């Protein structure tokens, strides 16, 4: 039955809500934009579904129903609708009944309330009357008591004052009693309580009293001080004494200072001792002492924390000064292992001290100290390495080379020496520094990145300054070579070549190896925008430097050869030259010079490919250009009278091997030597072109070039170049000759042959001697 | 654009002719008859063409055109032991005659060494001329009426061999000479050394030229293949150093109108055009920095180049002469022209920007 009712209620609610909802949607219908029911036309279409809405039109509904449905359905519909109507009727009835009941009960309640309120009115009236009466009476009493109250209060005040005076008069006695009993705390309490009175009236009525009590208090104070100073006294007692003294307005700061200075002095002594002896026991002693002192102070002066901190900081500064001294010995370098052990002990010590006094900033100080120590260590390492390398270089460079010359291959030795120094030295430094990182001393952890940066930056700086040093050395040697007389075998060119080789070595091997090693252990870092160690940059610098040095070497060497050639060409009077009988001296000198250079080059450089065709067309300038331009331009020639020999020369040139003269030098023996020889021979040609020769002069040149040909071919990487250039020299001489009749081949060969034999003999005897 | 002549060492622009671009080329031939070729850029073709041919008695080692008369030139010659320098006049061209001999106006006698070059008075019509041999510098007065040249004075350079010189266009009493490895300036009033740059090059200094706009700036070239720009007031360090050539750098010349352009030629058969921005005054670092001052290398030649010359009329044209007698005409690239022209108006523009655009 209850379910039934529930069901009914629900349905009613639904109906009501649907009614109201449809009402709402109706009002929204005027809004054409509103989505949903979709306006009047939509409703018209669906008239059959609109039965539950407000805008329901019965006629239309009926019409459409009749039109759209057949009879059975219509009948069925009729039954349905009838049932629904019935249902609705009963629901409505139910609703009305329920609401009616509620209304009736509400009316009853209101009636009862009305009756109750009418009775309350009289009660309230009574209450008001009574309260008024009470108030009048209370006023009366107050008025009558007023006079006496002032008197009582006065009496009360006098009484308390008298009590105080009594207390003050009794004070000396009490204090003495306390003193006898050793109850200082009580005494101090009394004194402190009385002291305002004594201070106000001490000069007049209570003079004697004050004097007496002050005497007693002075004694007490002295005894308290003694108690505080006595080390044997237990700490709480000392602390109490200090507290009492403080209450007596005794300057506790002075006590604190005294305490601290004496203790700190002691500590410092201990500490210096420990640093001098470097024994761990002493260090430990220092630490325990320090801890004890700190605890003692803290319990004695609970308010003096800041003072303690100050004092501790002071001590700390001195301590770290000592630490720094021991971390950075003036003489000799500390190895990383030593440094680590030192840092470890420091770390332990500081950790203990930090436990005792967290505010004193021990850790910060320690980190700073360690930082500076490590920085110095790193810098020192690099400095030492740099000094070693530069030292080795200046050994080669300096006049001591006289000794070195006695050795067979001075350059080779020093090259290897320096190479080893750079790579192994670099790796060693790195190893050393890695240790520091691996053992990860506590302090290092916090600035690991900075440390890595430091090491990387160290390398960067090392290599950077090395390049600078190289360049300055090369400049110095260059000016030396020019300034002083250009002795043959002057060490400068060889040294420059050495520098070049060294730079290439660093670029190609040294830096990659170091980079690899750095990459293994020093990853990360880079606090700045970019990593501190930039191998590519260094490599670039060294490559440029190597090229520069190589050029310098070639310049100096070829200049020397050119000067010899120049002298040989410009000195004789070629127009009145006598029949050539022998190859001139300069040719031998030239060969000697080339040989000397070869010696240097062979020591320092790698052999490289021998006898190759130079094919690096891009960077070279050729002495010949393509045939086509030649052919085309020839047609533009207007004046071809008597120029057959020129034409012949051009045609001859056409069929010759095209030869590149000025290629880019490589750092190999053959390339460097050929470069020098090529430049020298080109100069030869140019010098020859400036002269005018007689027949004999021309023949002399022919002879000289013939003699030079074979030895030079041996040292140069491309035979054709030598042939070509020497031919050019001969051709130039022929052009500049009034009567270019060459020597007969047989004569030429004979003279050259004998000369060569002689030279071989000379060399043999030289070696023999 | 290559014209064959005999072997030749010297080329000079006809400076007096401002209407046409003309060059004089002197040949160097021991066994043939030597000639002076007059070349001209054709108005229509834009290419070099022969405009005249004059015979010259001996090999021509040096050639310079008179700055005020189109038809006058001076040569330095030598042949088989003889040498000399003379002033010549180009004769009126006779139709039909292939070779016309030059008309000798005066000769500069008295040299005891091979003469290196002659220098005309740099400003206006003036009859002074300087000739330089390996040891001495002579100053001559030319008499226009045809009498022999009168020696006005001489300076000896001592042991250092002189190779060339340049009369200062800013101060007509100063002549700069290439003296061994150094650069020396002589004061013609006192006939004494005025200023020196010692060790200007590691080898013989071959050529030098005054900056047309700056009084104390000189460019030099030498056997160490470098090209260096000097300020005579600060002789310790060059203002700038250019890598020059692969072998000797024999010739170096400023463009007359644009001091930024320097032309150099050497025995490596190359002609290089350099762009050297002038040192900025006031703001020292605002001038456009260029990584490579070498604007262009001309590869047309096959033999050593002994002569270069800027056109007197067109600042964008220059000719070069190689030993085998090829004359090549070249032009400054248009992008560089644009830069230089725009620099005349806005001084701070980077070259790179222009190169890109």
Which of A204-208's residues contact partners 24+ apart within 8 Å by CB, and which partners? A206/A168, A206/A169
The percentage of residues in chain B with a pLDDT greater than 70, rounded to a whole number, is: 88
Comparing alpha-carbon positions, the chain A residue that sits nearest to B83 is A692
- Tell me, yes or no, whether B291 lies in a domain: no
Instruction: Give me the phi and psi of B202, to 5 degrees please.
Output: -75, -25
For residue A82, the model assigns a pLDDT of 92
Assess B243–A contact: CB distance below 8 Å, yes or no.
no
- Determine the straight-line distance between the first and last CA of chain B, rounded to whole angstroms: 29
Nearest by CB to B246, from A621, A689, A738: name it. A621
Nearest by CB to A638, from B33, B50, B248: name it. B50
Assess B246–A contact: CB distance below 8 Å, yes or no.
yes
Tokens coding B138: 């002579």
pLDDT for residue A621 is more than 50? no
Cα torsion A25, A29, A32, A36 to 10°: value is 40
Is residue B100 within 8 Å of residue B86, measured between CB atoms? Answer: no
Is residue A699 within 8 Å of residue A655, measured between CB atoms? Answer: no
- Tell me, yes or no, whether B27 lies in a domain: yes
Average the pLDDT over A258-277 and give the result: 69
The candidate with the shortest Cα–Cα distance to A450, out of A353, A340, A375, is: A375
pLDDT in tens, A374-413: 777 778 777 888 887 777 777 665 544 444 444 445 667 7
Taking the CA of residue A684 and the nearest CA in chain B, the distance in Å comes to 12
Cα torsion A77, A80, A86, A89 to 10°: value is -80
Assess A637–B contact: CB distance below 8 Å, yes or no.
yes
The candidate with the shortest Cα–Cα distance to A499, out of A464, A535, A461, A542, is: A542
pLDDT for residue B25 is more than 50? yes
With contacts defined as CB-CB under 8 Å, which chain B residues touch A664? none
A39 pLDDT band, cuts 50/70/90, is: very low
With contacts defined as CB-CB under 8 Å, which chain B residues touch A482? 199, 202
pLDDT in tens, A435-455: 766 665 555 566 667 777 777
- The lowest-confidence range among A306-320, A597-611, A708-722, B274-288 is B274-288
Comparing alpha-carbon positions, the chain B residue that sits nearest to A680 is B247
The candidate with the shortest Cα–Cα distance to B58, out of B38, B80, B39, is: B80
> H or E stretch including B154?
strand B150-156
pLDDT for residue B17 is more than 90? no
Look at the alpha carbons of B2, B5, B6, B12 in this order and tell me if their dihedral is positive or negative.
negative
Residues 6+ apart with CB under 8 A from B250: B206, B207, B221, B265, B266, B267, B304, B305, B306
Assess A577–B contact: CB distance below 8 Å, yes or no.
no
Assess A727–B contact: CB distance below 8 Å, yes or no.
no
Range of the domain at B62: 1-107
pLDDT in tens, B216-234: 899 999 888 889 999 888 8
More confident residue, A497 or A338: A497
CA distance B65 to B76: 12
Across the interface, do A623 and B302 touch by the CB < 8 Å criterion? Answer: yes
With contacts defined as CB-CB under 8 Å, which chain B residues touch A679? 247
Instruction: Give me the phi and psi of B201, to 5 degrees please.
Output: -140, 160
Average the pLDDT over A724-735 and give the result: 86
pLDDT in tens, A50-104: 677 777 778 888 888 888 888 888 889 889 989 999 999 999 999 998 889 888 9
The percentage of residues in chain A with a pLDDT greater than 90, rounded to a whole number, is: 3
pLDDT in tens, A636-685: 333 443 445 555 655 665 555 455 667 777 777 778 888 888 888 888 88
- Tell me, yes or no, whether B178 lies in a domain: no
Taking the CA of residue A738 and the nearest CA in chain B, the distance in Å comes to 7
- Tell me, yes or no, whether B163 lies in a domain: no
Number of domains in chain B: 1
Across the interface, do A625 and B300 touch by the CB < 8 Å criterion? Answer: yes
Is residue B79 within 8 Å of residue B88, measured between CB atoms? Answer: no
Assess B5–A contact: CB distance below 8 Å, yes or no.
yes
Taking the CA of residue B284 and the nearest CA in chain A, the distance in Å comes to 25
- pTM for this structure? 0.65
CA distance A643 to A639: 9
Measure Cα distances from A55 to A29, A47, A48, A130 in Å.
Answer: 10, 10, 12, 71
Taking the CA of residue B78 and the nearest CA in chain A, the distance in Å comes to 9
**Hey, which residues 269-328 in chain B have their CB within 8 Å of chain A?**
269-270, 299-300, 302-304, 323-326
Taking the CA of residue A457 and the nearest CA in chain B, the distance in Å comes to 28
CA distance A648 to A643: 9
DSSP A698-749: HHHHHHHHHHHHHHHHHHSS-HHHHHHHHHHHHHHHHHTBSS--PPPHHHHH
Q: Is B59 exposed, middle or buried (0-12, 13-18, 19+ CB in 10 A)?
A: buried
For chain B, give the mean pLDDT. Answer: 82
Is residue B89 within 8 Å of residue B71, measured between CB atoms? Answer: yes
For residue A25, the model assigns a pLDDT of 46
Cα torsion A655, A657, A658, A661 to 10°: value is -140
Taking the CA of residue B175 and the nearest CA in chain A, the distance in Å comes to 25
With contacts defined as CB-CB under 8 Å, which chain A residues touch B326? 633
With contacts defined as CB-CB under 8 Å, which chain A residues touch B268? 621, 661-662
């Amino acid at each position: 039955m209850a379910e039934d009712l529930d069901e009914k209620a629900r349905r009613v609610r639904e109906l009501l809500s649907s009614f109201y909802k449809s009402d709402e949607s109706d009002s929204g219908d005027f809004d054409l934009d509103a989505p949903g029911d979709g306006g009047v036309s939509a409703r018209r279409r669906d008239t059959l579904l609109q039965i539950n809405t407000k805008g329901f039109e019965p006629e239309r509904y009926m019409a459409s129903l009749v039109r759209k449905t057949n009879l059975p359905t219509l009948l069925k519909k009729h039954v349905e609708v009838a049932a629904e109507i019935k249902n609705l009727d009963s629901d409505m009835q139910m609703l009305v009944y329920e609401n009616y009941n509620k209304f009736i009960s509400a009316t009853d309640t209101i009636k009862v309330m009305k009756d109750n309120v009418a009775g309350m009115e009289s009660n309230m009236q009574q209450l008001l009357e009574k309260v008024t009466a009470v108030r009048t009476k209370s006023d009366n009493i107050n008025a009558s008591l007023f006079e006496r109250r002032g008197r009582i209060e006065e009496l009360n005040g006098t009484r308390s004052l008298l009590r105080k005076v009594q207390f003050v008069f009794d004070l000396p006695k009490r204090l003495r009693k306390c003193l006898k009993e050793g109850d200082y705390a009580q005494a101090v309490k009394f004194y402190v309580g009385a002291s305002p009175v004594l201070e106000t009236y001490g000069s007049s009525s209570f003079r004697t009293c004050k004097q007496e009590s002050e005497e007693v208090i002075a004694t007490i104070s002295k005894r308290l001080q003694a108690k505080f100073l006595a080390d044997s006294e237990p700490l709480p007692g000392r602390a109490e004494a200090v507290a009492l003294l403080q209450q007596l307005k005794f300057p506790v700061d002075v006590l604190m200072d005294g305490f601290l200075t004496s203790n700190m002095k002691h500590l410092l002594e201990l500490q210096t001792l420990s640093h001098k002896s470097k024994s761990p026991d002493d260090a430990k002693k220092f630490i325990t002492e320090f801890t004890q002192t700190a605890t003692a102070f803290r319990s004695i002066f609970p308010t003096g924390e800041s003072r303690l901190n100050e004092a501790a900081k002071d001590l700390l500064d001195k301590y770290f000064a000592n630490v720094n001294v021991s971390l950075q010995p003036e003489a000799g370098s500390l190895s990383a292992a030593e440094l680590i052990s030192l840092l470890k002990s420091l770390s332990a010590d500081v950790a203990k001290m930090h436990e005792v006094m967290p505010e004193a900033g021990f850790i910060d100080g320690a980190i700073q100290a360690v930082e500076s120590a490590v920085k110095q260590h790193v810098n020192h390492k690099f400095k030492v390495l740099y000094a070693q390398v530069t030292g080795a270089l200046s050994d080669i460079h300096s006049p001591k080379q006289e000794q070195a010359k006695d050795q067979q291959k001075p350059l080779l030795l020093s090259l290897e020496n320096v190479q080893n120094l750079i790579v192994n030295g670099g790796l060693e430094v790195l190893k050393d520094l890695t240790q520091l990182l691996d053992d990860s001393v506590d302090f290092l952890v916090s600035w690991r990145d900075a440390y890595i940066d430091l090491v990387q930056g160290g390398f960067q700086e090392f290599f950077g300054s090395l390049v600078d040093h190289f360049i300055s050395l090369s400049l110095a040697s260059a000016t030396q070579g020019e300034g002083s007389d250009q002795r043959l075998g002057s060490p400068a060119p060889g040294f420059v070549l050495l520098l070049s080789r060294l730079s290439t070595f660093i670029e190609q091997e040294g830096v990659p190896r170091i980079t690899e090693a750095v990459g293994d252990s020093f990853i990360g870092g880079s606090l700045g925008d970019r990593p501190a160690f930039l191998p590519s940059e260094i490599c670039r610098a060294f490559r440029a430097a190597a090229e520069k040095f190589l050029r310098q070497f070639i310049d100096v060497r070829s200049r020397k050869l050119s000067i010899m050639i120049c002298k040989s060409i410009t000195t004789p009077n070629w127009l009145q030259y006598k029949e050539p009988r022998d190859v001139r001296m300069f040719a031998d000198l030239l060969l000697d010079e080339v040989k000397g250079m070869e010696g240097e080059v062979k020591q320092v450089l790698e052999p490289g490919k021998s006898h190759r065709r130079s094919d690096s067309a891009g960077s070279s300038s050729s002495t010949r250009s393509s045939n086509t331009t030649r052919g085309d331009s020839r047609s533009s020639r207007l004046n071809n009278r008597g120029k057959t020999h020129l034409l012949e020369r051009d045609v001859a040139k056409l069929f010759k091997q095209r030869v590149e003269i000025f290629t880019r030098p490589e750092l190999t023996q053959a390339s460097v030597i050929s470069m020098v020889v090529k430049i020298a021979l080109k100069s030869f040609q140019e010098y020859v072109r400036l002269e005018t020769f007689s027949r004999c002069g021309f023949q002399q040149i022919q002879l000289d070039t013939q003699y030079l040909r074979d030895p030079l071919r041996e040292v140069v990487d491309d035979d054709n170049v030598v042939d070509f250039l020497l031919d050019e020299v001969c051709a130039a001489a022929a052009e500049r000759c009034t009567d270019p009749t060459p020597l007969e081949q047989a004569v030429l060969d004979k003279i050259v042959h004998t000369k060569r034999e002689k030279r071989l003999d000379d060399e043999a005897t030289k070696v023999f001697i | 654009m290559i014209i064959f002549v005999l072997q030749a060492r010297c080329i000079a622009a006809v400076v007096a002719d401002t209407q046409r671009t003309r060059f004089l080329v002197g040949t160097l031939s021991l066994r043939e008859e030597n000639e002076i070729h007059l070349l001209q850029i054709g108005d229509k073709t834009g290419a070099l063409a022969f405009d005249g041919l004059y015979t010259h008695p001996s090999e021509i080692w040096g050639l310079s055109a008179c700055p005020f008369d189109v038809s006058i030139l001076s040569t330095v010659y030598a042949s088989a032991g003889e040498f000399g320098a003379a002033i010549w006049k180009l004769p009126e061209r006779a139709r039909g005659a292939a070779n016309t001999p030059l008309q000798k106006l005066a000769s500069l006698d008295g040299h005891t060494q091979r003469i290196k070059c002659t220098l005309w008075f740099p400003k206006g019509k003036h009859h002074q001329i300087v000739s330089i041999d390996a040891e001495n510098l002579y100053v001559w007065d030319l008499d226009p009426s045809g009498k022999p040249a009168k020696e006005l004075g001489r300076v000896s350079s001592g042991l250092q061999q002189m190779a060339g010189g340049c009369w200062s266009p800013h101060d007509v009493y100063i002549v700069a000479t290439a003296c061994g490895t150094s650069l020396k300036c002589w004061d013609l009033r006192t006939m004494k050394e005025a200023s020196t740059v010692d060790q200007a090059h590691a080898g013989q200094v071959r050529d030098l030229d005054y900056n047309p706009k700056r009084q104390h700036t000189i460019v030099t070239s030498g056997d160490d293949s470098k090209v260096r720009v000097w300020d005579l007031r600060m002789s310790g360090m060059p203002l700038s150093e250019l890598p020059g050539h692969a072998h000797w750098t024999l010739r170096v010349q400023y463009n007359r109108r644009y001091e930024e352009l320097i032309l150099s030629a050497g025995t490596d058969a190359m002609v290089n055009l350099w762009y050297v921005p002038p040192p900025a005054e006031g703001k020292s670092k605002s001038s456009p920095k260029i990584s490579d001052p070498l604007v262009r290398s001309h590869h047309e030649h096959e033999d050593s180049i002994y002569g270069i010359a800027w056109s007197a009329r067109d600042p964008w044209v220059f000719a070069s002469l190689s030993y085998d007698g090829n004359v090549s005409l070249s032009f400054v690239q248009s992008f560089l022209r644009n830069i230089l022209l725009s620099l005349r108006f806005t001084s701070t523009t980077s070259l790179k920007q222009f190169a890109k655009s």
